[in-house]
Amino acid sequence: MLVSKKKRFIQAPFDSEDEIEQVVADNAPDIFGASSIYFSKSLIKTADGVGTIPDGFVIDLAERRWFVVEAETSKHSVWGHIAPQVAKQVVAASQPSTKKLLVNLAVKRAQQDPEISVLFSEAKIHQMDVRKVLDEIVAQKPIVGMPIDALSEDLKEWANTLNVKVRLWLLKKYVDLDNPKTVLYEIPDDARPVLSTIEETNEAKKSIAQFDVSLLDLINAGLLKAGETLTMNYKPRKGESRTYEGIVGTDGSITLLGKTFSSPSYAAVFGIQDAGSDRKTVNGWSSWRCSGGMYIGDLRDKFLKKQK
């Protein structure tokens, strides 16, 4: 239950799979990551011409991965509905025609949409290298990206036995106890999946993933200090460049302009919106620099290497 002084919101089931699909489409960067590009439904075909329509595709420029997206409701049977549907989608997504389609769509978006162009710049992808990098990304096996309203044991076992990787994101719905037409949706913080089969060691045990690392972990590892000042430079398309300073708290939070944020990305969004941007997501790990000049994302990489 979610409560305020005047309202109570209780968890409720999604009305349909369509509702989940709409929540995903409306909030794709928050679910898949601030460096991701979301593409809506497209008809794709297997080598024998069997058609299928995934709910979407995602190219993650930060992780250099791509996803076949299938939003699902836990009402559907894993073995009777989800497994066979996703199998066909993965086969069709792996066809050269699908990869060519996706790369062409991404290149077009980069050319026509300034916000998408910025994502390539933030990922340090030069304009001349856009198609090359996209070709390299889709040359890999697609990952199954599945936002879903509940995680069952069968779903976990199915995900861990596939010959492709899977990430599941948990979505929740809440309705006003006094007015069911007033609805809130809960989506993951910092694009954190509830299950991911991507991160594995040679011993087939899960390793620490990027999304599992917090600033508090960096503080405890001695890579960052509580009280340290982080800086972020940002220039909106129509405005002057600004430098923002955030103070790292003992709990790994960041205090910026008198407000405290639980994650680098939330703090970064607040900063760029203060500068005049209307963006709702940004990758805070590639936005904030520590006092030594390194991005905190680079500190995270150092932390992860020490864990291996």
What is the rounded average pLDDT for all residues in the chain?
A: 92
C-alpha distances (whole Å) from 6 to each of 97, 149, 186 are 54, 27, 19
Mean pLDDT of 57-63: 95
pLDDT of residue 200: 55
**For residue 168, what are its two tokens?**
């599941």
The phi and psi torsions of 30 (rounded to 5 degrees) equal -75, -30
DSSP 147-209: EES---HHHHHHHHHSSS-EEEEE-EEEEESS-TT-EEEE--GGG--SEESS---TTSPPPPP
Mean pLDDT of 277-287: 91
- In the sheet that holds 242-248, the strands lie side by side as 229-234, 242-248, 254-256, 259-261
- In the sheet that holds 36-39, the strands lie side by side as 36-39, 56-60, 65-69, 143-148, 166-170, 195-196
pLDDT of residue 307: 79
Mean pLDDT of 214-237: 94
Strand partners, 167: 145, 196
pLDDT at 238 exceeding the cut of 80 = no
Residues 6 or more apart from 211 whose CB is under 8 A from it? 190, 191, 192, 193, 196
CA distance 23 to 17: 10
pLDDT of residue 188: 93
pLDDT at 75 exceeding the cut of 80 = yes
pLDDT at 157 exceeding the cut of 60 = yes
pLDDT digits (tens, 9 = 90+) for 166-218: 999 999 999 999 999 999 999 999 899 999 998 654 344 445 678 889 999 99
pLDDT digits (tens, 9 = 90+) for 103-140: 999 999 999 998 899 999 989 899 999 999 999 999 99
